[in-house]
Chain A
């Protein structure tokens, strides 16, 4: 501590080191949070179901998505990114995942919601396998913290199926 600049440098360095430690502890404090999210999706209507000119099946559907993800939020949560994916099996691929809808939840108040929407992204198959296909709708979420590691999890909802014939 021999001069003004020396003391200032020492102080700033120490302050930054302590700040880094505070961020680590903040991130670790998230482990005390045990989330209990819930979600439900109902398909209200299959709008149309056709074979595209390139030969791939495409379906457009309308669904009600309701979820309560408030328990995912802590003081260290910046936002939660959620998306709904349709998952099914085909002879060519053991798992197909098609993202149908997504949203960013910026705050806890917005995490309990109900939305009536058609699929935001196109539900197109790699082939013609969708007739009569049974599929799952999975709600995925990614919790993005203000500082620390991102975590992700999902809820799988089973029991959905597509019509046997094109409409």
Chain B
């Protein structure tokens, strides 16, 4: 998941859980059944988990552009203290 995807997943999770809570409470109150409220809420939580927790492709629409490996070789990392300093210009 990319950064945008993580933010999206969190938002979807919060909204879906709140909506499930409201729907299940109203349904339970109107039907006069505590059990129905619990069942609907559990269903809502499971649905939310299925949508927001796994790493679905639509969460990866803004992928990060990692540096190309060949490009990285042209600009080696400077050596750690001990040997001479290499002047490597990093872009």
Q: How large is the interface on B (under 10, 10 to 19, 20 to 34, 35 or more residues)?
A: 20 to 34
Q: Is there an interface contact between A11 and B6, defined as CB atoms closer than 8 Å?
A: no
User: When A19-B41, A146-B34 are in contact, do A1 and B17 touch as well, CB less than 8 Å?
Assistant: no
Q: Is there an interface contact between A76 and B24, defined as CB atoms closer than 8 Å?
A: no
Q: Which residue of A lies closest to B16 (CB)?
A: A11
* Cβ of B55 under 8 Å from chain A: yes
Chain A contacts for B69, CB-based, 8 A: none
Q: Considering only CB atoms and an 8 Å cut-off, how many residues of chain A contact the other chain?
A: 21
Interface SS of chain A: helix, strand, loop or mixed? helix
Q: Within A95-126, which residues are at the interface with B (CB < 8 Å)? A: none
Residues on B facing A (Cβ under 8 Å): 1, 6-7, 9-10, 13-14, 17-18, 21, 24-25, 28-29, 31-34, 37, 41, 45, 48-49, 52-55
CA distance A25 to B17 in the complex (A): 16
Chain A contacts for B1, CB-based, 8 A: 1
Chain B contacts for A2, CB-based, 8 A: 6
Q: A15: shortest Cβ distance to chain B, in Å?
A: 5
* Cβ of A42 under 8 Å from chain B: no
* Cβ of A22 under 8 Å from chain B: yes
Q: Which residue of A lies closest to B5 (CB)?
A: A1
Chain B proximity mask over A6-17: 1 for CB below 8 Å, otherwise 0:
011011001100
CA distance A2 to B29 in the complex (A): 37
Chain A contacts for B33, CB-based, 8 A: 75
A–B pairs, 24, beta carbons within 8 Å: A1-B7, A1-B9, A4-B53, A7-B9, A7-B53, A8-B49, A10-B10, A10-B13, A11-B17, A11-B52, A14-B17, A15-B17, A15-B45, A15-B48, A18-B17, A18-B18, A18-B21, A22-B37, A22-B41, A25-B25, A26-B25, A75-B28, A75-B34, A146-B34
CA distance A18 to B17 in the complex (A): 8
Residues on A facing B (Cβ under 8 Å): 1-2, 4, 7-8, 10-11, 14-15, 18-19, 21-22, 25-26, 29, 74-76, 146-147
Q: B44: shortest Cβ distance to chain A, in Å?
A: 9
Q: Is there an interface contact between B52 and A7, defined as CB atoms closer than 8 Å?
A: yes
Q: Is there an interface contact between A11 and B48, defined as CB atoms closer than 8 Å?
A: yes
Q: Is there an interface contact between A14 and B13, defined as CB atoms closer than 8 Å?
A: yes
